[in-house]
Every structure is written in structure tokens, then in C-alpha cells.
Structure 1
Amino acid sequence: MEKAEKIARYMREHDRVAVWLGVEVLEVRPGYARMAMTVREDMLNAAGVCQGGVTFSLADFAFAVAANSHGRLALAVSAQIYYPAAARLGERLVAEAREVHRTEKTGLYEVSVSKEDGTLVAFFTGQVVRRPQEFNPG
């Protein structure tokens, strides 16, 4: 199995938020990750739409997998998100994370979260610091 896929599987099994969200790993390669989840009733806010923190968590997990996919431990130092549309109960969301720039010490990533019809629900950017140690899944 490819290293990036092994890292993604380990992260999915050991990240308790990703487990709670029911995140599915769809595709992973170095610097890239695509994930999906379906909005459940316990993910809705008082307005009846998907709570922003849930959407952020999906984007953040895709970001983390893309950043760690090279096999070096990468930890977030900043992130921001924009919500152009709401997600509703039962909608499937797909998060696609792409590496924009990577150096020995840092990495910059962007993540789009969309509904299956292509409607953009969130646009996320994040930066990581890359540690010298390897990311060694168990």
C-alpha cells in the first residue's frame, strides 16, 4: 500500500472527530486528499443547517491528511474558512485538499468543501509547520 494511503487510513482510524463525523477517505496521494461525509441531524445548528464547526472539521481533517501524506509530521499553525452556502440534513459533502506550497519547514494548503451538485459550501486555507520526525502510523 502506498505510504500516503497508509497514513490516511491510520489518521482516519485514530482521529476521534473524523470517526464521529463518519468521514470517508476517497482519495489520497502526496499533497492531496479527498474526503466525504453526510450531514446528520446531530450536526445541525439552531437554524437547521449544518453547524459551521462540523464543516470546518471536515475541511481540517482533509487538510491534515494532505499535509501529512508525505510522511513527515505536519501540525497546523493557522487556518481560516469562508462559508458561501449552507449544507442541510442528508447532504453529502466532499472536501478536496490541495497542497499550494511546501518547504522543508512549512506547507500551505487550500480545501474546498462542496455538495455533490458542485455547490461550494466552504473554502478553507491552512498552514502547517513540518517537523523533522517522520509520521509513522502504527
Structure 2
Amino acid sequence: MIGKVGEFMRRRDRLFDLLGAELVKVSEGHAKVEMEVKEEHLNAADVCHGGVIFTLADLAFAVASNSHGKISLALEVSITYMKTASAGERIFAEAKEVNSGRRTATYLIEVRNSKNELLALAKGTVFRLDRELPL
């Protein structure tokens, strides 16, 4: 089922295509997504826009939280930025479930570059609906 969930999320979440992001890994409560920073992802300071980094983290968070097969929607997400990324760099977001209850679950999401340097750290909480993903 996890493979079906990953394929469903990859196919249905349009931001994957918008960012040029790839789903690298998915398992129960865990997901890894990567992308290459392109010119169109840069802000006025010529570094990767924080919104792009946040969106990559959010994609990993979405896949990880929906990996159980139930529709899960974000209640809150916060992010702290540590380093910048430049055009041409590959960046990765990895979400890991740290707590799972009956209705809510919490995830930590790390965004790193190809040198394994931490670019951003996010935390997110989801609410799980009683509905299964329409796989």
C-alpha cells in the first residue's frame, strides 16, 4: 500500500511538477523528496526563496503523513532557516514521524543540501480524517 500512497501523492500533488521535485523514498511515517534549485526558484538576493524550501519540506511532510493511507491535513507547520541554497544545488527534504496518535501526528522535517548541511528544520502536525486516500 505504501507504494500506492507514494504514487498517488506524487501524481495528485501538483507542486511536485511545479518545483521539479522527485519523490525519492516513502515508508510508513517517512518520506524524502529532492529537487534542483533553478533560477526561477531564486529570490531578490539570488538565493533559493524561503517559500521554495518551505514547499519542499511541506511535500515531504504531506507524503509522510499520508503514508498510513488516511487523508491527513496540516494543522500547523513552523520552519527555521539556517543556510541558503544557490541555483544548481540539489536539496532534499526528509520528514519523519515523531508522534502518532489516533487523530493527530507530529513530524520533524529536515531540509539539507548535497553536502548534507542543514538548510532548514521544520515541525508539522496533522489531523487525520476518517477517510481513506482514494487510491
Q: TM-score, normalised by structure 2?
A: 0.97
- In structure 1, the partner of 2:104 is 106
Aligned counterpart in structure 2 of residue 116 of structure 1, from 97, 114, 117? 114
Q: CA deviation at 1:75?
A: 0.3
Q: How does 1:1-138 map to 2 (within 5 A)?
A: 3-137=1-135
CA contact (8 A) 1:27 1:33 kept: yes
**Structure 2 runs not aligned, ≥5 long:** none
Q: CA deviation at 1:123?
A: 0.4
**Structure 1 runs not aligned, ≥5 long:** none
Q: CA deviation at 1:82?
A: 0.5
SS in 1 for 2:120: strand
Q: CA deviation at 1:10?
A: 1.4
Alignment partners' CA distance in 1, 2:33 and 2:15: 14
Q: Moved runs in structure 1, 4+ residues, more than 6 A?
A: none
Q: CA deviation at 1:16?
A: 1.5
SS in 2 for 1:19: helix
Q: CA deviation at 1:15?
A: 1.3
Superposed CA RMSD: 0.7
Q: TM-score, normalised by structure 1?
A: 0.95
